[in-house]
Amino acid sequence: MEAPPYAGDPTFERLRRSFQPADLLPELQAAGVHYTIAVEAADDPAENESLLATARHHDWIARVIGWVPLADPDEVTESSTHGRHRPDASWRRDLRCPGLLPPGCHQPVLVVGLVGQQPEMRPMNPPSGFLRRTPTRRFRDRRDAGRVLADELASYRGRDRLLVLGLARGGVPVGWEVASALGAELDVFLVRKLGVPQWRELAMGALASGGGVVMNDDVVSSLRITDQQVRAAIDSETAELQRRELAYRGGRPVVDPRARIVILVDDGIATGASMLAAVRTIRATGPESIVVAVPVGPATACRELAAEADDVVCATMPAAFEAVGQVYNDFHQVTDDEVRELLATPTTGAAT
């Protein structure tokens, strides 16, 4: 079978990273459009204009419908590169379907119609958007969230050398469910918040196992935190990291992520600093790829992580994000004993 005209095209790669198959509009029969895809707008208008301009200059795009304001889908206007027909009423009804975009989402979307055989779509890290299933999803507890997240990661099931790293402590129950469902090996990864002196609940950065550090320069600058204070915080948290590593692992060695597909799992992200520290630390070890997977997080943090990870999967991104615990019925503090018990309980995965 002849390869479709967009095979290997970098622009198509950019588009296909934005949504999975469940987010595709139904196939259109008219105008030679085999199917359509919708890409949610980024916060940066320049990114949106760049994507629109790039899409208009490819033969495999039969029609660039343009940025559609979802608040009023009937106002669809077509910007055609091939003189195709306007979308009809049935297409506009499809745009309102709940499966396309989250309920209540009123951001514009770029809709393009592609020609040729429908390509394989798989979840990948998007350059200007990312996977969002629904802004209103709730979870019974972390184990339930892990099972939901495993469904979102189904394309990784059975992949060779797959490694799930649960960020301690809350990410371990979530990660155990993900590893079990995907047939992956599970290990723990530690990240500690670097708190502001005299106000430790406010994070000025994060420290990961292996020494990876991510600092919030805005916080450090605005509060005039000195290099000596930063060093003291790092030294203190390094000691705590070492204590927890010993407590969780006992005599077990650290699993080497080199040349492996690493899925970093937490029970959610707020600022994303801890996860970013984990991504950068793991990246330095030479993995095949890094996937960030969380049940919940704000859109801004997920977008920032998408710039560094190879794939970002977030099961729900509430429009009014307040805290990770807002989507859990049971969000008790995970204990060291729970972490040890889960790490000692085999998943279906094993190192290959």
Which tokens go with 152? 């979102």
Distance CA 259, CA 285 (A): 8
Kindly indicate the confidence band of residue 303, based on its pLDDT and cuts at 50, 70 and 90.
Answer: confident
- Are both 107 and 210 inside the same structural domain? no
Is residue 184's pLDDT more than 60? yes
Distance CA 74, CA 93 (A): 9
The CATH number linked to 314 is 3.40.50.2020
**Has residue 120 been placed in a domain?**
no
* pTM for the structure as a whole: 0.62
- Are both 26 and 72 inside the same structural domain? yes
- Are both 92 and 152 inside the same structural domain? no
**Has residue 125 been placed in a domain?**
no
- Could you please report the per-residue DSSP string of 128-146? S--B---TT--BSSHHHHH
**Has residue 281 been placed in a domain?**
yes
- Are both 221 and 185 inside the same structural domain? yes
Q: pLDDT for 245-283, tens place per residue?
A: 888 987 788 899 999 999 999 999 988 888 998 999 999
Is residue 99's pLDDT more than 60? no
Number of domains composing the chain: 2
**Has residue 171 been placed in a domain?**
yes
- Are both 293 and 197 inside the same structural domain? yes
**Has residue 150 been placed in a domain?**
yes
Say what percent of the chain tops pLDDT 70.
60
Q: pLDDT for 232-246, tens place per residue?
A: 999 999 988 988 888
Domain with 58, as residue range(s), is 10-114
**Has residue 198 been placed in a domain?**
yes
Kindly indicate the confidence band of residue 54, based on its pLDDT and cuts at 50, 70 and 90.
Answer: low
For residue 177, what are the contacts with CB-CB under 8 A and spacing of at least 6?
Answer: 143, 145, 146, 147, 149, 150
Q: pLDDT for 120-159, tens place per residue?
A: 333 333 333 344 444 568 999 999 999 999 998 988 998 8
- Are both 173 and 213 inside the same structural domain? yes
Instruction: Report the pLDDT value the prediction gives residue 301, as an integer from 0 to 100.
Output: 85
- Are both 91 and 219 inside the same structural domain? no
Instruction: Report the pLDDT value the prediction gives residue 258, as an integer from 0 to 100.
Output: 94
Average pLDDT (210-235) is: 88
